[in-house]
Structure formats: C-alpha cells, structure tokens
C-alpha cells in the first residue's frame, strides 16, 4: 500500500473518527427532549402536540406537601413494656421528641396483635406525668421502630406520583405562548416519560443514531465544499487533521462544560475556529468550517436557535475584522468586535422573542466578556498549530521579512549583490501575486530568502563581482554548473539550520525547478559539438514549483536576472526579455504542476514589464554651472 492511499485513508478516517468521538461526548442529560424553556418566557418552537398518552407528574413540592399531610395523620406504633403498670401511657423523652419532630398527633398501641389509636394529648413522659399526677410514673410504652417505618413506607407509597393525563394529539403548548407553571410541569413530565424505562434503550439508541447521522451530514457538507472549491486542502493530510482538531477542541470543551457544570455554553470561544482557519488559510474556508462547527454544536446547545443565530454572526464578524492578521493588536480588536456583536445579537434576539426588558439575563453579559477574553488566547494556539502542522501565519511572515534579522543581515553583509537582487525579486513577485490573487506576503518573504545559499561562495555569482574576474570562467563548464546549482542545496541547509518554515524552504528548492544552467550548458555544447551531453550535470535538482507563489517567484527571479544583462533599457527590450524568459520556462514545462491559468501568466507578464520599465527609467542629466561649480 503506497503512501498516497495511506494518506487518503487517514483523511477519511479523521472525519469518521471525529464524528464518533463527538457523538460519544455529547451530554445526555436532556437527550430525549431537546427544547429549552423557562417559566415566563415564550415558547420559541413550533406548536408541540403529544404523540402518545403520558401522565402529568407531580412536582417535588406537591409530593412533599402530600407526604407531610400523610405524616400528620399517621400514628407511630408503640408496645407495652411487660411487668410495668399501665394506668397512664408513658413514653421516653426521646420518643416524644421523635413524635413532635415528625408532626405526629397520635400514636398506635399494639396489644395482642391489635392496634388502638390514642391522641398525643393522652401520652406523657415521666416528667410530664409527675407534673400532671403528682407522683412518679414509670415508662410503659416503647416505640416499635421497625413496624412504624414499615407501615409509614407503605402509606407513603400509596401517594400517586401523577395527576392527570395528556392524551395523544392533545396540544401541549403553541408557538409564542408564554410558558406557565402548568406548561412547565407538563413539559417536564414529557421529558421524564421519554427518559423513563418504558422507552429506555430503543429511545436512547435512536437518539444516538440520529445525532451520528446529523454530525456526518454536516461534516460531509464541509468535505463537499473542500472537494469543489479547495481540493488542495482535501489532498493535505495535515490540513484535514487541523480542521478536525479545531472542531474537536471547541465542541469537546462545550460538551464538558454542559456535562459537568451548570455554566453557559457561551463561555466557549467558538470564534477560535474562524480565526485560526483565517490565519492559516482563506476567509471562505474559515466561514464554512465555522458554520459546520456551529451546526454540530447546536445539537447540544440548550437554546439552539438563539445559539446558532448569535454564533453565526460572531463568525462573520471575526473573519471580516481579521482579513489579514499581520499585527498582534488585531486579535484584541477582533475580540472587542466579537464582544460587541454578542451583546447586540443577544439583546436583539431576546427583544424579538419576548418584547420585554425582563427577558435579558444580566449573567449573559459576564459570559460574553469572559468569552472575548478567551478569544484573545487564540494567539497561543496560533504558535502551537504552526509548530504542530508546519503551517505559517501572517505574523510569522511579517517577522521573517524584517531585513534586520540575523539571517538577512548576514546575506546583505556577505553577498550584497544577491541581497539587492532578492529585494528586487521580492518587489516584482509581490506585485505579480497581487495581480493574480496569490499570497502577496508569502511570495515576498520567499523571495527574500530564495538565494541565501549564495552566502557560502558569494564571489561565484555575478551580482557580487565588482571589478573581479568571474572565477567560474576558468573552470570546466560542468564543474562551474555544479557550483551554480549548489546554491540551492546550500540554501536549504542554511534555512534548516536557522529553523525557517518549510513553506519558505520550498521556495528555495523550487525557484529554479528542473531547469538547465543555460550559460554553461550552451558553452559546453558549443565546445564539444560532436560529444553527447549528460544534461543532469547542468540541471537543477528541482522539484518544480507546485503553487502560484512558487511559479511567480521562479518567473520573477529569472526575469530580474535577465534584465540586468540587457545592453539597453527600452520598453521594447524589456518587454522582449520578459516574454522570452517566461516562454522558455513554459516550454520547459516548469509550471505544469501549478494552478496558473493563461490569464494569470498574461497578468504576470504585464506586471513584470511595467515594473521593470519603472525600475530602469531614464533620468534627466542635471546641467552644471558655466563656472564649473
């Protein structure tokens, strides 16, 4: 089994595993009746009717009152103590306290298997009997705890836990109706019925099956989006794992919060998903992944309609306010916009549903504030995911473009000509990237580092030779070609020693593709016209560029170098040089693996020509004074 098939299995398995884990994590406390309702608030769902008969269960308060009434009429059981006179009924002080604490007003005396009831007023303790009759009376009754508890439990068991019946088809509550105490009691009874043993395992199994199907459906829609609009993401195992991990983190946190606490789901920063995705990828994918996450989270949210409305709005604001994250302060600003959006959306939704200020829960403001603070913590996750998946963020790219960094400073010191060439290539490539919708910041950064391998032997390259004869001209063309080619492998070594991101290293290894070192190849062929040529000695090892940004850098590098060798700088000469270089690269198949279109290539040509003409425009000669000063 080759690596391609293995990676495909991993990608498919990641989504399947994600769905299974999420369903297992879902809290089951309200599994059977997924409605959120409160007394005094309107019913936010469609009219609810009973699908079958079910009893209306009494509330805990109602049952407690009935039990209290039954206890007040119950008479605990006592037995006579043998060989003690019986003219006065006397019990211990401890038994009297037990009777009074439980609210009993009478007792039952068991004699000869018969029980006779007496009012509590006829019963004394030794102390009260002495006070009443003036002489000491011994205790002659003792509490039969086992019989008392047994008969009391039997009587309490006769209390019915239900009152009334809701028949199949009967309306329970209508859409927009205010939830009264009676409605609440019936809804709680329905929930209890659904979660009871009578429905048991079948209900539980069907519920889990439904959740699993819905989660798979939502994930399938996201996969379909990737297949149609972002197939390159779907082919990347690390990217798929990144998407799945984000969903698992935020929904896993939400499940734990709901399962083990009574806190609000709004404490969970769901905005992490669109922010992280936007930092590493594009806005459309960020929004679509956020929609998928919120749809899944709505399955466990206490008030799914309100939750979905607020969170979708938050995701749109997060992506819009973070179009390109180049500064840390942008994340704080985004968190502020998210907080404001949550507050407005929550209040607007509450007013639309109820029309009263009393529907606003002040605690929600605190939840939203804490969520905004947690959103800022996303910055730490950016760093973690960069290292974990070898992604690169705009912040890192900005840091890498600092020409005062140690590596770029060393390039400017050791190979000043190469440094200036890289700066010019960076300007050309970024302008072209902007014209074709490529990642401008990425290609600018890659261009600054693409030739760092020339630091090893800078004098072998013409841009660093000032008044010095080119030493390569004294070498065998084959050896000279290998020296030129080696700047790619040397550049990769330097980049890895300095821990440059893999995406930047990719620019170093692909900026020449598999092209030939034409100068020395032609020199060898001209000097040995009758000998076969081993092209591998004059060919860069590759690979060819596979992205728009890689292709743009390759073109910009060749065009900028070619423009330096022109004998005259005119619009015609520059235009001709650009066309020849790009046409040669196309004919050589260097861009066959890139997503560049014919229109993209034409737009890139146009940008290169206009920028090179602007770089090399003629300047006027300043006149001197007649006196020579």
Alpha carbon 490 to its chain centroid, in Å, reads: 39
In whole angstroms, give the CA distance from residue 220 to residue 227: 10
399 shares its domain with 382 = no
Overall domain count for the chain = 3
629 within some domain? no
**DSSP category for residue 113:** T
592 within some domain? yes
In whole angstroms, give the CA distance from residue 183 to residue 437: 58
Of 165, 186, 190, give the one whose Cα is nearest residue 177.
Answer: 186
Report, as an integer, the average pLDDT of 212-226: 95
Q: Is the pLDDT of residue 569 over 50?
A: yes
101 within some domain? yes
Of 507, 518, 514, 517, give the one whose Cα is nearest residue 590.
Answer: 514
Give percent above pLDDT 70 in the chain: 93
In whole angstroms, give the CA distance from residue 149 to residue 143: 11
Of 576, 541, 578, give the one whose Cα is nearest residue 556.
Answer: 578
In whole angstroms, give the CA distance from residue 172 to residue 163: 16
Q: How many CB atoms lie within 10 A of CB 222?
A: 19
pLDDT of residue 17: 95
440 shares its domain with 522 = yes
46 within some domain? no
Task: Dump strand ranges (E) for 344-484.
Answer: none
464 shares its domain with 525 = yes
In whole angstroms, give the CA distance from residue 186 to residue 54: 9
Q: Is the pLDDT of residue 136 over 90?
A: no
333 shares its domain with 411 = no
Q: Is the pLDDT of residue 14 over 90?
A: yes
**DSSP category for residue 117:** E
Of 381, 493, 394, give the one whose Cα is nearest residue 445.
Answer: 394
Choose from 161-175, 318-332, 519-533, 548-562 the range with maximum mean pLDDT: 548-562
372 within some domain? yes
36 within some domain? no
455 shares its domain with 311 = no
Domain that holds residue 563: 394-615
381 shares its domain with 262 = yes
50 within some domain? no
In whole angstroms, give the CA distance from residue 595 to residue 6: 25
Instruction: Identify the domain boundary among 371, 389, 407.
Output: 389
Q: Is the pLDDT of residue 604 over 90?
A: yes
Instruction: Identify the domain boundary among 334, 360, 389.
Output: 389
266 shares its domain with 343 = yes
382 shares its domain with 421 = no
Of 492, 483, 500, give the one whose Cα is nearest residue 543.
Answer: 492
Beta carbons of 141 and 78 less than 8 angstroms apart: yes
Beta carbons of 230 and 285 less than 8 angstroms apart: yes
Indicate the pLDDT class of residue 88, thresholds 50, 70 and 90: confident
Coil/strand/helix, residue 111: strand
Encode pLDDT of 288-312 as tens digits.
Answer: 999 999 999 999 987 888 899 999 9
Of 286, 402, 404, give the one whose Cα is nearest residue 334.
Answer: 286
Instruction: Identify the domain boundary among 126, 157, 188.
Output: 157
366 shares its domain with 422 = no
191 within some domain? no
For residue 123, what is the enclosing H or E element? strand 123-124
Indicate the pLDDT class of residue 423, thresholds 50, 70 and 90: very high
- Are β-strands 106-111 and 77-80 bridged in parallel, bridged antiparallel, or unpaired? parallel
Name the token pair of 455: 């630091």
Q: 256 vs 350, which has greater pLDDT?
A: 256
Give me the CATH number covering residue 557.
1.10.3210
Q: Is the pLDDT of residue 194 over 80?
A: no
Beta carbons of 266 and 366 less than 8 angstroms apart: no
434 shares its domain with 362 = no
In degrees, rounded to 5, the angle at the alpha carbon of residue 281 between the alpha carbons of residues 277 and 287 is 50
224 shares its domain with 114 = no
411 shares its domain with 363 = no
- The residue behind tokens 């298997």 is 113
Q: Is the pLDDT of residue 267 over 90?
A: yes
């Amino acid at each position: 089994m080759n690596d391609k098939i293995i990676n495909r299995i991993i990608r498919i398995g990641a989504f399947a595993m994600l769905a299974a884990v999420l369903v297992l994590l879902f809290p089951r406390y309200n599994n059977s009746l997924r409605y959120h309702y409160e007394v005094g608030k309107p019913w936010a769902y469609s009219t609810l009717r009973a699908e079958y008969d079910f009893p209306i269960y009494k509330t805990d308060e109602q049952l407690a009152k009935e039990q209290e009434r039954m206890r007040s009429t119950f008479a605990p059981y006592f037995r006579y103590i043998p060989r003690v006179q019986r003219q006065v009924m006397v019990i211990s002080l401890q038994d009297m306290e037990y009777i009074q604490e439980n609210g009993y007003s009478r007792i039952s005396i068991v004699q000869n298997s018969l029980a006779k009831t007496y009012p509590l007023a006829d019963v004394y303790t030794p102390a009260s009997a002495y006070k009443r009759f003036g002489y000491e009376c011994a205790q002659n009754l003792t509490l039969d705890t086992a019989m008392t508890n047994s008969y009391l439990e039997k009587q309490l068991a006769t209390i019915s836990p239900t009152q009334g019946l809701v028949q199949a088809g009967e309306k329970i509550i209508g859409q927009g109706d205010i939830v009264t105490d009676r409605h609440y009691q019936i809804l709680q009874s329905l929930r209890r019925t659904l979660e009871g043993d009578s429905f048991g395992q079948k209900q539980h199994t069907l519920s889990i099956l439904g959740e699993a199907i819905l989660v798979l459906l939502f994930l399938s829609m996201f996969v379909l989006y990737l297949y149609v609009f972002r197939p390159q993401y779907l082919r990347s195992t690390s990217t798929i794992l990144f998407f799945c991990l984000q969903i698992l983190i935020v929904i896993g946190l939400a499940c734990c919060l709901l399962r083990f606490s009574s806190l609000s789901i709004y404490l969970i920063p769901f905005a992490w998903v669109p922010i992280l995705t936007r930092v590493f990828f594009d806005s459309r994918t960020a929004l679509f992944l956020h929609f998928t996450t919120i749809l899944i989270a709505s399955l466990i949210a206490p008030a799914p309609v309100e939750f979905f409305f607020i969170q979708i709005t938050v995701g749109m604001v997060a992506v819009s306010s973070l179009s390109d994250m180049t500064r840390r302060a942008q994340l704080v600003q985004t968190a502020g916009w998210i907080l404001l959006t949550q507050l407005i959306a929550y209040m607007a939704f509450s007013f639309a549903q109820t029309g009263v200020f009393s529907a606003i829960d002040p605690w929600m403001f605190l939840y939203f504030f804490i969520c905004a603070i947690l959103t800022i913590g996303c910055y730490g996750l950016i760093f973690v995911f960069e290292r974990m998946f070898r992604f690169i963020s705009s912040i890192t790219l900005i840091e890498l473009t600092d020409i005062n960094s140690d590596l770029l400073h060393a390039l400017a010191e050791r190979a000043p000509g190469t440094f200036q060439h890289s700066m010019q290539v960076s300007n050309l490539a970024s302008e072209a990237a902007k014209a074709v919708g490529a990642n401008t910041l990425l290609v600018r950064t890659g261009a600054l580092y693409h030739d760092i391998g020339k630091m090893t032997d800078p004098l072998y390259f013409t841009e660093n030779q000032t008044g010095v004869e080119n030493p390569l001209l004294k070498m065998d063309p084959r050896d000279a070609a290998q020296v030129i080619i080696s700047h790619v492998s040397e550049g990769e070594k330097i980049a890895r020693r300095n821990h440059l991101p893999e995406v930047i290293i990719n620019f170093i290894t692909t900026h020449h593709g598999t092209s030939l070192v034409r100068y020395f190849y032609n020199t060898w062929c001209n000097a040995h016209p009758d000998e076969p040529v081993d092209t591998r000695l004059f060919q860069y090892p590759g690979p060819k560029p596979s992205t728009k940004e890689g292709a743009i850098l390759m073109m910009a590098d060749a065009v900028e170098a070619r423009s330096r060798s022109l004998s005259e700088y005119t619009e015609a000469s520059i235009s001709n040089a650009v066309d020849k270089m790009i046409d040669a690269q196309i004919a050589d198949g260097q861009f066959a693996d890139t997503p560049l279109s014919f229109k993209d290539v034409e737009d890139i040509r146009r940008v290169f020509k206009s920028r090179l003409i602007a770089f090399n425009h003629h300047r006027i000669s300043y006149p001197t004074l007649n006196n020579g000063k």
